[in-house]
A and B are shown apart, each in its own frame.
Chain A
């Protein structure tokens, strides 16, 4: 008994002596983050139930009025739908594309480092600047895409597509640009997952008689699932809450056809000075974020257990 008791007692002693210091080292950061995340988060709820506007003091509690008027607003409904289309489509494209790219980059070859650098650019460059590059590429008059399409006689010069000016094309453009932006992130994460699979496993599959596709779908992808989940959860958050691509490329237009929740919250709350309505709109992001956070906790928990 004495033998087992001694180390336990020592451990407890150590903890209590370090505990105060631990809290002191930890607290400033927590307070800082709480003040700038939790407080505004609470304020967002408060505003959503008030009549706050930029420039006016003294808010009043108005109950669910903001939510009611927001829900009746056709622009909001459009934006809500668009947010899901935008998120789901670009995530599907990102997952398929990044899986293919990560598989292609898995083995070493000459120039791999350079390829990796080039492929990473869209993620690393400030997205507002990347989006401006696309705005130029998709310009209504000088689009290089159209020039090529005309040159190969796929479209007629007098009937050029307006990539950012026609509702469905604008949505496609916004989705493609966001895919462009997130693909590198997802690729490098999957690449890390792929290199973590021991070389023996695909070799054993080859000896067992599995070809490329069977190894991919029955061995590699199932083994990648935890990390695919991580990439996908982050991708969903980054897409669903993003307003930069939409803001720079189309500003939500034409006719709100690319309006998403975050951009609508910005246009309503900041440019339209209606803080209350803006806050109410942005709160519609919360349910999805909560779901993602819970799923993320599950991934982290599983990683701890196994």
Chain B
């Protein structure tokens, strides 16, 4: 087990253009499950590939277990990686796929079967060892890829969107399995995803990336409840955080905190909304309303309610408790301290 650390890591693919990864500093804890979260093109995969040794950083240092590994090949870094496509070797059986890292790292041959069976057993694929990858379902392939990664007992475990090729139902169960699995082996794990649900559910901490820059590092609760800037505020949460401009400030609040005024405490921001659309999603209602007056013209405020019996076109008063309000600087879009609002 080891700690992974990056120091001012930058990757520029084409000289003169903006880097894919810019000046990233981060440090995992021992045995932590760290998630890189960001939209496509945010640099999360590039960052992971640099840690794996598949890309060379333009500048900065990468440390694994306290040692600078910039110029070590992937094999010398003692890491394991699961690829988005799983990258199973199509011509080898499942057994040989899992045994490949053992062979490549010159583990004595008499230990292979025991180790392969251990890894396969851990993932419940012991009965598939003689199959070829093309004879497996998507979920089984994913397990083989994970088994191949853990069989050599790596010091760091890297996963690049390992669930994105599975259908929605399978994804939920595979996610739970991966979580359990991590709890059992306790290896330091870095997990890349663009799916906020995966990030929130699995991560000990989440690193939110955008355009190659780290926007925030924190526990799922921190990044959701206290976003560091407007990007994090809107990227996490579905529907995203409402943002309204007010002077030099942007005021943000989550849709689930927009409630009928009767349910709100007295210290609350009141909003007069004209109902524009209502969507019924079974467990909840999504209400789209336009603020009345000149508070935020043309801006839609979204509310998530357990029940909502609202006619489109009617006007209602909603409120957001003051302790649910988050403030951002309008110029920098960074988090700003709470202050009194000056709405008319």
The interface of chain A, by Cβ under 8 A from chain B, is: 198, 200-201, 203-211, 214, 218-219, 222-223, 225, 306
Contacts and interface: CB of A to CB of B under 8 A. Distances in A.
Given A206-B54, A209-B74, 12 more contacts: A198-B85, A200-B83, A201-B87, A201-B90, A203-B87, A204-B83, A207-B75, A208-B101, A209-B101, A210-B104, A223-B91, A225-B91
Contacts of A210: 75, 100, 104
Contact residues of B: prevailing secondary structure: loop
A214 B104 contact: yes
Contact of A200 (B87, B91, B152): B87
Given A198-B85, A200-B83, A205 B134 contact: no
A209 B87 contact: no
Contact of A208 (B54, B84, B134, B148): B148
Interface in B37-83: 52-54, 73-75, 79-81, 83
B83 A223 contact: no
A222 B91 contact: yes
Interface in B176-201: none
Nearest to A200: B87
B105 interface: yes
Contact residues of A: prevailing secondary structure: helix
Contacts of A214: 104
B91 A204 contact: no
A208 B100 contact: yes
B89 interface: yes
A219 B73 CA distance: 18
Contact of A207 (B79, B84, B85, B91): B79
A24 to B, nearest CB: 41
15 contacts: A198-B85, A200-B85, A200-B87, A201-B89, A206-B53, A206-B54, A207-B52, A207-B54, A207-B74, A207-B75, A208-B101, A209-B75, A210-B104, A214-B104, A306-B134
Contacts of A205: 89, 100, 104
What 4 A-B pairs come out closest when comparing CB atoms?
A200-B87, A204-B87, A209-B75, A209-B104
Contacts of B105: 208-209
A114 to B, nearest CB: 22
Contacts of A207: 52-54, 74-75, 79-81
Nearest to A226: B91
B97 to A, nearest CB: 9
Among B73, B100, B148, find the residue whose CB has the most chain A CB atoms closer than 10 A.
Answer: B100
A200 B101 CA distance: 15
B83 A219 contact: no
Contacts of B134: 306
A209 B151 CA distance: 12
A214 B90 CA distance: 16
Contacts of A218: 100
Contacts of B91: 222-223, 225
B118 to A, nearest CB: 17
A183 B258 CA distance: 72
A200 B54 CA distance: 10
A210 B92 CA distance: 15
B133 to A, nearest CB: 11
A47 to B, nearest CB: 47
B52 to A, nearest CB: 6
A204 B133 CA distance: 15
Nearest to A197: B90
A225 B90 CA distance: 12
Contact of A209 (B83, B84, B152): B152
Among A198, A210, A306, find the residue whose CB has the most chain B CB atoms closer than 10 A.
Answer: A210
A223 B81 CA distance: 21
B95 to A, nearest CB: 14
Contacts of A209: 74-75, 101, 104-105, 152
A28 to B, nearest CB: 41
Interface string B296-317: 0000000000000000000000
B191 to A, nearest CB: 16
Nearest to A206: B74
Contacts of B74: 203, 206-207, 209
Contacts of B83: 200, 203-204
Contact of A223 (B73, B90, B104, B152): B90
A206 B87 contact: no
Contacts of A223: 89-91
A210 B79 CA distance: 13
Contacts of B52: 207
A128 B204 CA distance: 71
Contacts of A206: 53-54, 73-75
A44 B249 CA distance: 93
A211 B85 contact: no
